[in-house]
């Protein structure tokens, strides 16, 4: 079968499942999901890492193609339905099961990231941020605050179960991500900033030279000057305020 026929078959199967689920109550739906998840778990246990990753990649590709054929409203509706299913599922789990699932998910993401280069990771982050932005635009302030509070509480519980070494490792990884993000500032922006700084220093030097100074050196916002032994300090006005000049004899 070609891709079009495969997608048509999947769509027909999904429609049959949808009609079937509309005739079931929540308990039956959750039982069916649990059975399906158990089958998938047993199946994955018999596969090696490469096969598991290949299966995930194929599933992600199917989802990507399916999303390309949906408009934004349908995508958001699908996300909301998925979030609701996860919420109901979490309500039926105790804290230990919840943390176990989080740990397993984090491990899967870690293994997936190890196989991606920096460009792919950044692209994934940007896409995720864009999805969150669109989702927040459709939420009111109360819903946003509720979600933030729930997220903060989850992070707090997670940190309580981590030792200091793990916390430091996570902080270091976060700092490294931020460093890479900052390094993506374009050379044009950096050049503009350097040009402005150089022009400010040039004008300041001309002003000081006109005052009869012999030598001026600019060091990280502090100006050191060599001149008359009788003068101890002088303040020179500039764009950022008054900068002290220390006279060395």
Tens-place pLDDT, residues 102-124: 777 778 777 777 777 777 777 77
pLDDT at 83 over 50: yes
Residue 73: phi and psi, rounded to 5, are: -65, -45
Domain that holds residue 211: 190-247
- End residue of a domain, out of 144, 164, 187: 187
- Considering 170, 187, 204, which residue would you say is the last residue of a domain? 187
Q: Are residues 28 and 150 in the same domain?
A: yes
The verdict on 196 and 117 lying in the same domain is: no
Query: Are 179 and 217 members of one domain?
Result: no
**Same domain membership, residue 37 and residue 11:** yes
The verdict on 159 and 225 lying in the same domain is: no
pLDDT level of residue 216 (50, 70, 90 thresholds): very low
Q: Are residues 50 and 20 in the same domain?
A: yes
- Which residues have CB under 8 Å from 227's CB, separation 6+? 212, 213, 214, 215, 247
Per-chain mean pLDDT for the chain: 69
Q: CB neighbours of 99 closer than 8 A, spacing ≥ 6? A: 157, 158, 161
User: pLDDT value at position 203?
Assistant: 56
Do 61 and 23 share a domain, yes or no?
yes
- Summarize pLDDT for 9-41 with one digit per residue, the tens: 888 887 777 777 677 777 777 777 888 888 877
pLDDT at 240: 42
pLDDT at residue 208, rounded to an integer: 47
Residue 107 in tokens: 């491990």
**Are residues 134 and 166 both part of a single domain?**
yes
Residue at which a domain ends, from 187, 212, 239: 187
Contact assessment for residue 226 and residue 248, using Cβ atoms and an 8 Å cutoff: yes
Q: Average pLDDT in the 232-244 region? A: 42
144 & 42 share domain: yes
Judgement on whether residues 133 and 55 belong to the same structural domain of the protein:
yes
Mean pLDDT of 230-248: 42
Number of folded domains that form the chain? 2
51 and 13 within one domain: yes
Q: Is the domain of 165 the same as that of 196?
A: no
């Amino acid at each position: 079968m070609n891709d079009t026929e495969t997608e048509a078959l999947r769509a027909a199967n999904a429609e049959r499942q949808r009609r079937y689920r509309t005739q079931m109550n929540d308990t039956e739906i959750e039982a069916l999901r649990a059975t399906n998840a158990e089958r998938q778990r047993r199946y994955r246990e018999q596969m090696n890492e490469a096969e598991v990753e290949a299966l995930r990649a194929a599933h992600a590709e199917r989802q990507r193609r399916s999303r390309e054929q949906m408009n934004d409203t349908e995508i958001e509706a699908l996300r909301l339905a998925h979030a609701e299913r996860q919420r109901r599922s979490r309500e039926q789990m105790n804290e230990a099961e919840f943390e176990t699932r989080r740990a397993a998910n984090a491990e899967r993401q870690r293994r997936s990231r190890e196989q991606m280069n920096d460009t792919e990771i950044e692209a994934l982050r940007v896409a995720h941020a864009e999805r969150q932005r669109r989702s927040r635009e459709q939420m009111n302030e109360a819903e946003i605050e509720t979600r933030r509070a729930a997220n903060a509480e989850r992070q707090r519980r997670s940190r309580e179960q981590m030792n200091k070494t793990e916390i430091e490792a996570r902080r270091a990884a976060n700092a490294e991500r931020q460093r890479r993000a900052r390094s993506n500032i374009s050379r044009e922006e950096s050049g503009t900033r350097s040009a402005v700084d150089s022009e400010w220093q040039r004008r300041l030097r001309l002003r000081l030279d006109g005052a009869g100074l012999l030598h001026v050196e600019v060091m990280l916002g502090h100006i050191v000057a060599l001149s008359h032994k009788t003068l101890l300090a002088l303040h020179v006005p500039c764009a950022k305020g008054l900068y002290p000049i220390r006279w060395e004899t």
